[in-house]
Amino acid sequence: MSVQDQIVKQNLAFVYGRSKEDEKHDPDKRSYVKSVKPLDNSAQLGPPITSFVGEFESLHPAYKCNVVNALDRSSEGSRNIIYPSFEHALMASKLLDVDKKLEIVQMQTIQEVKRFVSKELKKEKSEVQNWKDKCLEIGERLLRDKFMRNKLAKSALAKTIKRPLTFINDYKDLFWGVDNEKKGQNHLGLLLSKIREDVSKGEDVDAWLERSLYFEKADNVSISVEVKKAGVVEKEASQVLDRKSVVFIGKHESCDIISAHPSTSRTHAAIVVDKELGAVLVDLHSANGTMLNGVALPPCEFVPLTPQSTVSIGASSRSYHFTVETQAGLKRQQLLLQRLSSKQQEEENSQKSGRNNDTTVFVRNLAYETTEAQLADFFAPCGNVTHISVPRDRGIAFVTFSSLSGVLQAVGKDGDELQGRQVRIKRSDANAASSGKGKPTHPPGPIRSSRARGGVDSAIYGPGDTTKASLSASRTDKVTSSSSSSSSSSQKQLKVREEEEVEYDYSYYMQRYGLVDETVANSAITDDKSHHEKDESPPRRPVSKKRGSELDVQDTDASPPRRKK
C-alpha cells in the first residue's frame, strides 16, 4: 500500500471512526473492564469448583498477591503493611504487635507463618480479643482487598459465573473449607460467592471502600471543588458537594465529578473522607493514572489530601483543588440555633397578639410507599408532630408541628435521606398570603366551583379582595332580579350569559390592555368601576353564531365597555 493510500485510509478513519482493530489499542477502552456483566440465567451452572488450581488458582487462600488489612497500622500510623497473600494477612490479624506482623510479611511459606503465630499466641495478651467472633468480618475485608488490587484474580472469579465454590483442603480446616468427605462449613466458598455477586452487579468498588476505611458521617462533610485550566479558575466546573463521604471522579454519568477528557476512565478515582486519616485520594485502576502534585499514584493506595494538593486526571490539562470541611453538620446546627433564638421572640409576640403562625412544612421527593409512621419517626427529633397528611401516590406530604421551633428544625433536615431518597423540606407560610407577600402552600383541598368559593367575586378577584368584588356582586344581584321575572327558558339563557360574563370580564381586560398579570387586570377593572356603576346593564361579550341560536341576540350588547379617559 502506497503512502498516499495510507493517508487516505487514515483520513477516512478520522471521519467515519476508527476500525475495531484500532479500538483494541485505545488505552482507555482496552483497560476498561465492564463491572456490570449481566448473568445469563439460562446458562447451565456446571459442576461445582472444588479444586482451586490451574485456571482457578487465584481463588486459593495461599495465592501470591498483594493484600492489605485496613485494621493494621505501621509505626508511622499509615496503612502500608502489604502482605504477600490472603492467608498471611489472615494469620497476622490474630496478633496485636505490629513488629510481629512485619515479620510475617517476610515469611515465604504458610507453614512457617502458622508455626510462628501459634508460638506467639501462647504468650499473654498477644491475641486480638474475640478474634473468633470477628474472623468472618476480617476474612471478607481481606478477600475484597485481594480481588480489588489484583485484576487477574477478579477476572478469574467472574468466570466462575454461578458455579458452586467449595474449598476442599487436606489439613482438616472445617471452618473455612470442607474435608474430603465434604464435611465442614465452607465459609471461604460462601464469601467468594458473595464477592462474585457484587462484581457481577458492579458494587464491588463501593463495598471495598466501605470495609477499607472508616467513613466520616455524610452530614458532617462538605467538599469544595475548584477547577483550573492554565491557571484560570473555571467557575462553571467548580462546585460544592454537601453530605458526601465518597466522591467519584470519571467520565461516567454516575460520577460526582465528570471529566470528559478522552484519557479519563469511566470510574477513574475517588476521594474518601475518613474519620482518622481525613480526606484521602485513591486511584481505581485507571488506564492513564491519577497525578497528585505531579506524582503518579499507585492503584488502590490511599494518599492523604491537603488544601494545597493539586490533582490531575489522566492527560487532562485541568487541575482540581479540594477543600474538605468535616464540621459542616455542626455549623448547620449552630446556624439553626441562631435562627431559633432570633425567631423565639417573634413567636412569643405572635402568641400574645393572637396571630396564628403556620407551623406546617411541605415535604416532597418522597417515595410513594412512604407512610405517616415513617414520617413521624423521621421528624421525631424536631419536636411534637400534631398532624401528618400524605396524599396518595403524590410523593409529597404536609407535616404540622406544635411550635415554630419544630418547623425550623424540620427545615434544617432539608436534603436528608429517607428510604434512599433525598427529601426536600420547606416551610408552608399561611401568613404570606394575608400579608400580600406570597401565596400559601397548604395541602390542596377538594376543587370547588367559583360559586362555592364566593361567586364571581372569588372566581375573578380572590376571596380576600372585597373592594374590587363589589362591582361583580352588584352585577350578580341585577341578573338575579331580572331572571326571577322570566320563564324557565329565560333562566337557562341568563345562566349561560352569566357563565359567559365571568369568562368575558377577565379575558376582555386582559386582551384590551395587553395585561399578563392578574393583579394588573384587577387594577384595570377597579379603574372602570365608576363607569360600570352608572351603566344599568352589565357589559357582555357578543354571542357567537353557534350559541346565539339558543339566546336572545337582542339582549346582548355588541360593543364592549370602554375605559373612561
Do 177 and 64 reside in the same domain of the chain? yes
Contacts 24+ apart (CB under 8 A), 490-498: 493/550, 493/551, 493/552, 493/555, 496/547, 496/550, 496/551, 497/540, 497/551, 497/555, 497/556, 498/456
Instruction: Render pLDDT for 136-189 as a digit per residue (tens, 0 to 9).
Output: 999 999 999 999 999 999 999 999 988 999 999 878 889 999 988 888 999 999
Q: What is the arithmetic mean of pLDDT over 34-62?
A: 72
Domain total of the chain = 5
- Among 169, 186, 212, the domain-final residue is 212
- Specify the range with the lowest mean pLDDT, choosing from 1-10, 198-207, 378-387, 530-539: 530-539
Q: Is 462 contained in some domain?
A: no
Q: Is 44 contained in some domain?
A: no
Instruction: Render pLDDT for 205-239 as a digit per residue (tens, 0 to 9).
Output: 999 999 999 999 888 899 999 999 988 999 888 99
Q: Is 357 contained in some domain?
A: yes
User: What local confidence, expressed as pLDDT, does residue 338 receive?
Assistant: 76
Q: Is 43 contained in some domain?
A: no
Q: In terms of residue numbers, what domain contains 19?
A: 1-30
Closest to 272 measured CA to CA, from 249, 298, 296, 239: 249
User: What local confidence, expressed as pLDDT, does residue 222 receive?
Assistant: 92
Residue type, 473: A
User: What local confidence, expressed as pLDDT, does residue 506 receive?
Assistant: 45
Q: Is 386 contained in some domain?
A: yes
Do 493 and 475 reside in the same domain of the chain? yes
Closest to 174 measured CA to CA, from 185, 189, 166: 185
How far apart CA 64 and CA 252 sit, in angstroms, is 33
Cell of 132: 473468633
Q: Is 560 contained in some domain?
A: no
Do 367 and 311 reside in the same domain of the chain? no
Do 197 and 97 reside in the same domain of the chain? yes
Do 86 and 223 reside in the same domain of the chain? no
Q: Is 562 contained in some domain?
A: no
**Which CATH number is 98's domain given?**
1.10.357.40
**Which CATH number is 306's domain given?**
2.60.200.20
